[in-house]
Amino acid sequence: MGLWKYLSDWLGSRKVEAKILCVGLDNSGKSTILNHFKAKHDRRHEMAPTMGFNVETFKHSRIKFLAFDMSGQDRYRDLWERNYAEADGIIFVIDSSDQLRIPVAKEELGHIIRHPDIESQPRLPILFLANKSDLRSSLPAPKCAQLLGLNGEEWEGNNLRSKSSDVRPWYICSSSGKSGDGLEDGISWLSQKLIHRVAKMKA
């Protein structure tokens, strides 16, 4: 039986549930992005900075997402690691208009992928959203990838190199939480990876 037919038959009889961590520095747009994924009648009209974390739910491609919107403020970042072990995927949001803070985001990324609970899950997918692409000062996704070192040798021991045969699944795209541009592209990629991940775990 082909993989796609297997997935189609399997998904036809049950829904996939996935726990996602949405992380990134403060003011990167995490809450706005997750709010956009929700059904229109469930969206909030006003957004406030996240304190600690919030839990949001939405559906995409027959997947029910349980998304943990983790505060990016420095004093709350130690909360991220408490959820790594049970995560099915990560959305890492970067403010592409704030080039000065991208090195800080890179440092936080290093903490994530070197954490034992993440290292023990080499196929856990990471979606990078280069957010705020609607702003003139924003950098394109390939430049953000370069600044984060996603294609460089520095992540060689952490399975984030695109040239590795056992590379951790990752994808980066430009996005705008304000307009919604690029978000469908990103969440579709993540949904596909999660379907494959769950199907292999159940096979």
What is the predicted pLDDT for the residue at 199?
Answer: 62
Low-confidence ranges of the chain (pLDDT < 70): 1-15, 46-47, 152-166, 198-203
What is the predicted pLDDT for the residue at 160?
Answer: 65
Q: Which residues fall within 8 angstroms of residue 12, CB to CB, at 6 or more apart? A: none
Amino acid letter, 173: C
What is the predicted pLDDT for the residue at 163?
Answer: 42
Distance between CA atoms of residues 202 and 129, nearest Å: 29
Place of tokens 């590379």: 167
Cβ proximity of 102 and 147 under 8 Å: yes
Q: Where are the domains of the chain?
A: 18-202
The class that CATH gives domain 18-202 is: alpha beta
